[in-house]
Structure 1
Amino acid sequence: MTNTATLAPGPGHSRPGRPPTITRERIADAGMVMGLPRMTFVGVAALLGVSHMALYKHVANLAALKLLVAEAIFTRWQLPDTGNDDLEHFLLRFSASLRELVKAFPGLAPYLIRRKVATPAMLASIAAHQAEVAHLYGISIDRARWLLSTVAFHCIALADTVYAVADEAREEDDEELEAEFDLGMHALIIGALAMQPR
């Protein structure tokens, strides 16, 4: 998944004179193209081919618009396939996948870390991930919840910091940064697996 999603024309596009159909999916696609940090009502409306007043009929304000887009990004993201990996290696791939998600969608991290802004759909997706990992690895749901939450929190926060600045200097350091990132996350995962939280 990338933030250069193409906008599929709505049913209204094939008939001249009819306004384009506005759906949550099309709004989310337009928001992903614009990006969370630069998002404006006028910009998203323009990408949809509608007036910003028409968009207000579907989304109450800019904060709600950003939340709708963040929810779509996260709920479209898929938990990595477990394959034949042991839990440690699965958590490494889980971490790498989240890192790439945060890297691809600047501004997403706060919506993933702060429970108070998470939508019911986001929370349901998180709970489904936890249940799947608990089942596949034969661990309790509490253990799966703690492991995934611990790895996700640290990975997302670190990725948000590492990728916050997009410049040529950072691009030159990417390989070294990513190696250090992976090493640090591996250390965290080994420690988390060894711990038995109260």
Structure 2
Amino acid sequence: MTRPGPRPGRPRTITRERIADAGIAMGLPSLTFVGIAALLGVSHMALYKHVANLAALKLLVAEEIFVRWEMPAAGDDGLDAYLVRFSASLRTLVKAHPGLAPYLLRRKATPPAMLARIDAHHEHVAHAYALPKARARWLLSTVALHCVALADTVYAQAGDEWDGEEAGIEAEFDLGMRALIVGALALPIAWP
């Protein structure tokens, strides 16, 4: 299938949202300037006027994926049940967007907008479950770290070649995350 190149005349508007949409469609591991430009119907040189380099392009797309993610809201189901829902949602996010994990795990790779959203989430959970913010931060970060790392490993390696194993792996994943959550909640750590 050949993609149409840039058309003569006035170029299409290049916006952050359109760049992110194209990047999400292409996928973080496959992202290229030429590919994104083709999806936008512009030249790759025009794209360079909006994004400095490939690293910045990937960061823009990763940030937009995270911003669009609907984090589960805390509810009346108890902290342990919430952490299970949170890990399931996070697993789905990582599974749907290969290549996202480094932006979620490495603080230096995480842009300020993502860090601000994470901090607001910590505050939300602390308030909802009457926890010190430091404890909410630790619980959510612990669950997120293990969930993202495991999901990235499991889904990146498996690709589309599950051969009927997906249900078993999903069940083991859920069981492992529940065990982590139960253990984390039971740790006798004094919080300020």
TM normalised by structure 1 equals 0.89
- Check if 1:153 corresponds to 2:141: no
> Displacement, 1:167?
3.2
Partner of 2:82: 90
Distance 1:82 1:119, change over 3 A: same
Partner of 1:60: 52
Aligned counterpart for 2:23 among listed residues 21, 31, 42: 31
Structure 2 residues without counterparts, runs of 5 or longer = 1-6
> Displacement, 1:197?
3.6
For residues 33-62 of structure 1, give each alpha carbon's deviation from its aligned partner in whole angstroms, at most 9, with x where no partner exists.
Answer: 000001100000111111000000011110
- Check if 1:114 corresponds to 2:114: no
d(CA) in 1 for partners of 2:68 and 2:163? 27
Partner of 1:22: 14
* SS across alignment from 2:28: coil
Q: CA RMSD in A?
A: 1.4
d(CA) in 1 for partners of 2:41 and 2:189? 52
For residues 111-166 of structure 1, give each alpha carbon's deviation from its aligned partner in whole angstroms, at most 9, with x where no partner exists.
Answer: 10000111010100100100000011100100000000000000000000000131
- For 2:12, give the aligned amino acid: P
Partner of 2:178: 186
d(CA) in 1 for partners of 2:189 and 2:142? 11
Q: Select between 81-90 and 93-102 the one with higher mean Cα deviation.
A: 81-90
How many equivalent pairs are there? Answer: 183
> Displacement, 1:84?
1.9
- For 2:153, give the aligned amino acid: T
- Runs (4+) of structure 1 exceeding 3 A deviation are none
Partner of 1:132: 124
Partner of 1:5: none
- For 1:191, give the aligned amino acid: G
- For 1:27, give the aligned amino acid: I
